[in-house]
Amino acid sequence: MSVLEKTDLEIIDFGDKPEDKFYCLVDLKISPDGLDIEKIKMSDPRNFDLEMRESGCLMMFTGDEIAELTSRGDLDGENLHESLVELALNEGVIKKT
- What tens digit of pLDDT does each residue of 25-78 get? 999 999 999 888 888 778 888 888 888 899 999 999 999 999 999 999 999 999
> Whole-model pTM above 0.85?
yes
Domain boundaries, the chain: 7-90
User: DSSP for 6-39?
Assistant: TEEEEEEESSSSGGGEEEEEEETTT-TT---HHH
State whether residue 61 is helix, strand or coil. strand
- What tens digit of pLDDT does each residue of 4-33 get? 999 999 998 877 887 788 899 999 999 999
Looking at residue 73, what is its pLDDT?
Answer: 94
